[in-house]
Structure 1
Amino acid sequence: MPLKILITGAGIAGTTLTYFLSHLHQKHSITVLERAPALRDSGLQIDLRGPGIQVLRRMGLEDAFRAISVSEQGLGLVDGKGRRWGYFPVNSSGKGLQSFSTDWEVMRGDLTRMLYGESLKGEGVRYEFGVWVEEIQETGGEVEVLLSDGRKETFDLLIGADGLGSRMRGLMLGGDGDGKEAVHELGVYTGYFTVEKEMGEGEGYDATVYIATKGRGIMTRRHEKDRYLAYLSCRVGGEMKIARGKKGDVEQDKQILRNAFRGAGWRTEELLQAMEEADDFYCECMGVVNLDRWSRGRIVLVGDAAYCPSAMTGMGTSSAMAGVYVLAGEIGRACAGDGATVTTEDIEAALARYEEKLRPFMNHVQRGLLDNNDYMARFPSSAFGVGVMYFLFAMASFFRLDVLARWVLREDTNGWELPDYPDVLGN
């Protein structure tokens, strides 16, 4: 039986989920609400790994992805004088785990636009921008929502795909905020921005990392000839004594980074100046979402709203796509029967199966991140310790060992496999 479904959030998770639900055999009615006034097709470089690659292929969109992808060649580590201590090229063999750079790099905005366009090809899809859910109430076999424009509507299923700061998570947990109690902070403060600078002689499309003392690090990623991306990360608290910036206070965020990185070495001064001139700067305190349950009744969360693993794992986008795929598969199976109605019990059983199948994978991706609030403590912060890390990186690079990538990133699924849903998703 078809359902009337509401999805909040038109990011990668929301658009991918819309694609799958609109391609099920049942002709569901799907409304997607996005708080922003238009599709948020900005953002920095992201990648796909493991299950994320599998999901994209099952969507039949590999060629479309390749047409918009970023050809990052690899990642190198440099010291304060710009000397390279090692380099890990991208794994373009199509076999094994990806390296620090993947063969599936893309700008977030390009991927969002592609997924949005593909989702509109399905039946029964409607996007509304500049609208959000203010209140929710489960009444019998439906969920009633009060929207920001004053309308009241009812749905059979409500899905929150609205990111780390999920409003739907807060509403599901019984509050009216963003469910911050479910966010485990990692003590990492990161600023992102674009630097306008032409590619120099001998420079390639590479990612470059510089590690400084006192829990500071810089990464740059060249994705176009005339500009590149910069990421400045530092430790919150500890030696740095960094105060938290107020969300949305760009000048305060920049001041925090100026104070933290002053005198850090390498190209720090150049990057701090570029930060002042950037028109796309934003900052975040990284966190991991940890919930006992991802659903309540006819309300369910997916992607970062439910289990954000943070950028530190390299698995945010891939985890979201894997979760969306499993959720859509279980919804499809719940609606595939001959019954005239899909009961609340049917929906709750489908949402329970979604969590049962995905939870082991997400537990593995998030392993160790919930142990404390100081992610940077696992890395050396003294000059001697940083020097040892550079030496180990050089050795791993020389002998072509992937031990460092395996330690930092979480692509290895520990035996977990993406389920198959040939009866409802055609794979």
Structure 2
Amino acid sequence: MPLKVLIIGAGICGPAMATLLRRTDPGHSVTIVERYPEIRHNGLQIDLRAWGIPIMQRLGLLEKVKQVAVKENGIALINSKGKMSAVLGVNDSGSGAQSFTSEYEVMRGDLVNILYEASMKDSDVSATGKGDGAPNPRDEDAPGIRYRFNISVTGMAQDEKGVDVTFTDGTTRRYDLVVGADGQWSKTRRMMFGEEIGNDMFKRLHVHIAYYTVKREPGDDDLARIYYAGNGRSIFRRTGDRPFTQVVLMVGTTSEEIKREIERQPVERQRATFERLFTGAGWEMDGRFLKGLRESTDFYADSLGQVKAPHAVKGRIALLGDAGHCASAITGMGTTVSLIGAYTLAGELARHNGDVPLALQAYDANVKPYITESQKLMFGVPGILTLKSSWAIALFHFIMWLITSTKFDKLIVKLAGEDKGGLPLPSYPELKLAPVTQS
């Protein structure tokens, strides 16, 4: 049964969900609203892991991911002089678990663009509202996918048969289903459950992260590097085969003052806080990285955490990806959570043939085991990424040297499985997607 669906957020979840809906039933009318003026093509390097790989294969998009994948050869642990004590390589054998560097490393903007183009290719309707966000009235109820930029939701009211949504331009429209795919600070979540409860679902890991890019230099190769600066600070450098170098700053702290200076604050305030915290950190920080921090045009910072929503649905409204199930960047499972959520939600909608409330209940129950697995943190994480004392850092260097020099890390990767918890990809023949094949 064709549905009229609103998706809030045009990151990874939104276009993926729209594509799955349209391929299942071309009669669906799908509108995606995004508060930014266009699809955002920036963002740091992300991983495609576990169930996310066969989902992209079933969508016919895995080869496109391979074409834009970052060629990174692993990660090295270094000291303040850049000397390596251990190197963890990439597992590209097609079997076993992936290491820190995934076989499918991709820039966030490239993956978003792949999914966006796929959604538009499957649609009969072009993107609208790139200027003032105004919709094309002829398109609003037609089958297909349409994007409305520069617009967001200010209110929702639902009954047994639909959801009335009010937008920032003052218009109100009615939908059979609303999907919130608007990130870890989801406004949709706060509208569903209330401001305080919605915010409390975000469980902080007491780690703050900043990302920006600097000009690539001759010494920047296909091996990522991590440097521990002490006092809970770590610095990542990643280049791969890109014409630029990514810098990631991470600091672990329970300071309420630092939290207030970073969480949902203006960029310049966040930038000043990270400059203060990382000045004098050593390695390349006090030279090119500090200069890049001050001059960057793509600086982004936030707190790391996980969203623990007891339920990701309420009536005819559902949460997707980080909005309802944020795994956090340190798990490497954020992209996969977005894809498994969209796949499961679209599958249940197809299976229940238009019975939205029943489909959402099934989605909420059936996606939970995958979210639970995705949100599991490795032993010692996040503390092991933000070591504080010099002796702890020295001990970690020694342990990692011992593990890699004896090739014990390769044995672990070989014996471990990539499907977390042994959970297979859910089967939804109703989605009418291509079967999974061996790559």
Fold similarity call, TM over 0.5: yes
Q: Read off the aligned partner of 1:376 and give its amino acid letter.
A: G
Match of 2:217 among 176, 198, 214: 198
Q: Does 1:419 align with 2:426?
A: yes
Query: What's the CA shift string for 1:221-271, capped at 9, x where partnerless?
Result: 004454200001112336x97453153422322222222223222222121
Map of 1:35-184 to 2, 5 A cutoff?
Answer: 35-123=35-123, 124-175=144-195, 179-184=198-203
Select between 396-405 and 116-125 the one with higher mean Cα deviation: 396-405
Aligned residues: percent identity?
A: 36
Map of 1:243-254 to 2, 5 A cutoff?
Answer: 244-245=260-261, 247-254=264-271
Q: Read off the aligned partner of 2:52 and give its amino acid letter.
A: G
Q: Does 1:298 align with 2:316?
A: yes
Cα distance in 2 for partners of 1:31, 1:405 equals 45
Provide the secondary structure at the position in 1 that maps to 2:388. Answer: coil
Cα distance in 2 for partners of 1:62, 1:265 equals 40
TM-score by length of 2: 0.87
- 2:304 is matched with which residue? 286
Q: Read off the aligned partner of 1:296 and give its amino acid letter.
A: K
- Aligned-residue offset at 1:127: 1.0
- Mapped contact 1:73–1:204 kept (Cα < 8 A): no
Closer/same/farther in 2, CA of residues 228 and 179 from structure 1, 3 Å limit:
same
Q: In structure 1, list runs of 5 or more residues that go unmatched.
A: 336-341
- 2:407 is matched with which residue? 400
Cα distance in 1 for partners of 2:411, 2:306 equals 21
Q: Read off the aligned partner of 2:251 and give its amino acid letter.
A: C
Q: In structure 2, list runs of 5 or more residues that go unmatched.
A: 124-143
Q: Does 1:350 align with 2:359?
A: yes
TM-score by length of 1: 0.90
- Aligned-residue offset at 1:403: 8.6
Closer/same/farther in 2, CA of residues 261 and 403 from structure 1, 3 Å limit:
farther
- Aligned-residue offset at 1:63: 1.5
- Aligned-residue offset at 1:113: 1.0
Closer/same/farther in 2, CA of residues 70 and 263 from structure 1, 3 Å limit:
same
- Aligned-residue offset at 1:411: 5.7
- 1:376 is matched with which residue? 383
- Mapped contact 1:289–1:306 kept (Cα < 8 A): yes
- Mapped contact 2:251–2:386 kept (Cα < 8 A): no
- 1:339 is matched with which residue? none
Map of 1:14-25 to 2, 5 A cutoff?
Answer: 14-25=14-25
- Aligned-residue offset at 1:108: 0.9
- 1:321 is matched with which residue? 339
Query: What's the CA shift string for 1:343-394, capped at 9, x where partnerless?
Result: xxx322211221222211211222369x99x943786421111111111111
Cα distance in 2 for partners of 1:316, 1:140 equals 32
Select between 97-106 and 358-367 the one with higher mean Cα deviation: 358-367
Map of 1:1-40 to 2, 5 A cutoff?
Answer: 1-25=1-25, 27-40=27-40
Q: Read off the aligned partner of 1:94 and give its amino acid letter.
A: G
Q: Read off the aligned partner of 2:199 and give its amino acid letter.
A: K
Match of 1:333 among 351, 356, 359: 351
- Mapped contact 2:4–2:30 kept (Cα < 8 A): yes
- Aligned-residue offset at 1:82: 1.0
- 1:338 is matched with which residue? none
- Mapped contact 2:232–2:388 kept (Cα < 8 A): yes
- Aligned-residue offset at 1:62: 1.6
* Aligned positions, number: 410
- 1:363 is matched with which residue? 372
Provide the secondary structure at the position in 1 that maps to 2:166. Answer: strand
Cα distance in 2 for partners of 1:404, 1:268 equals 35
Q: Read off the aligned partner of 1:365 and give its amino acid letter.
A: S
- Mapped contact 1:208–1:221 kept (Cα < 8 A): yes
Provide the secondary structure at the position in 2 that maps to 1:180. Answer: helix
Select between 397-406 and 177-186 the one with higher mean Cα deviation: 397-406
- Aligned-residue offset at 1:80: 1.2
- Mapped contact 2:55–2:343 kept (Cα < 8 A): yes
- Mapped contact 2:160–2:315 kept (Cα < 8 A): no
- 1:213 is matched with which residue? 230
Q: Does 1:389 align with 2:362?
A: no
Map of 1:268-279 to 2, 5 A cutoff?
Answer: 268-270=285-287, 271-279=289-297
- Aligned-residue offset at 1:399: 2.5
Provide the secondary structure at the position in 2 that maps to 1:11. Answer: coil
